[in-house]
């Protein structure tokens, strides 16, 4: 039971195991924390079936984008609700390049706020996740201040 039934992405419990395994093996480069924007409004106006459809569509677009940008060095996990994490394995492009590539590619996944953080060996894993989550909240706040285009 490593897969989320709604999206077919890996699930939260498997994320925690993989994060620890990659850190212990020296293969963890970093991670991205992603959160969907305005899912509650979709659920409130169109119902939870529409929200589930949006979560599935978003996860499919995210998986496609991660494969395009990171190949076998990135994996998408759905933590719960509208939160996703992408684990970045050693061998992927540098984190700043990945951040820019995901931001550029976000045109195909418009409803996501994202934040990334690189892993430093020995760093507590909760700290890594917290830094990526804080960067995501910063992105979410900045996106609220900008008008949506395209």
> DSSP assignment of 37-105, as one string?
SSHHHHHHHH-HHHHHHHHHHHHHHHHHHHHHHHGGGEEEEEEETTEEEEEEETTSPPHHHHHHHHHHH
C-alpha 72: how far from its chain's center?
A: 16
82 is catalytic: yes
What is the DSSP code (8-state) at residue 148?
P
Catalytic residue among 52, 82, 104, 139: 82
| CA distance to 38, 105, 129, per residue, from 138 (Å) | 16, 19, 14
- How many other CB atoms sit within 10 Å of the CB of residue 22? 20
Give the catalytic positions in this structure. 82
């Amino acid at each position: 039971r490593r897969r989320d039934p709604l999206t077919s992405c890996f699930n939260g419990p498997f994320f925690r195991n993989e994060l620890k395994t990659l850190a212990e093996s020296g293969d963890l480069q970093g991670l991205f924390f992603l959160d969907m924007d305005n899912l509650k409004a979709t659920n409130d106006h169109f119902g939870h079936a529409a929200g589930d459809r949006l979560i599935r569509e978003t996860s499919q677009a995210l998986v496609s984008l991660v494969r395009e940008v990171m190949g076998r060095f990135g994996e998408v996990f759905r933590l719960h609700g509208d939160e996703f994490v992408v684990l970045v394995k050693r061998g992927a492009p540098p984190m700043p390049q990945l951040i820019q590539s995901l931001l550029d590619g976000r045109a195909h996944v418009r409803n996501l706020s994202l934040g990334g953080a690189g892993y430093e060996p020995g760093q507590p894993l909760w700290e890594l996740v917290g830094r990526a989550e804080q960067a995501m909240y910063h992105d979410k706040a900045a996106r609220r201040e900008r008008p949506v285009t395209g």
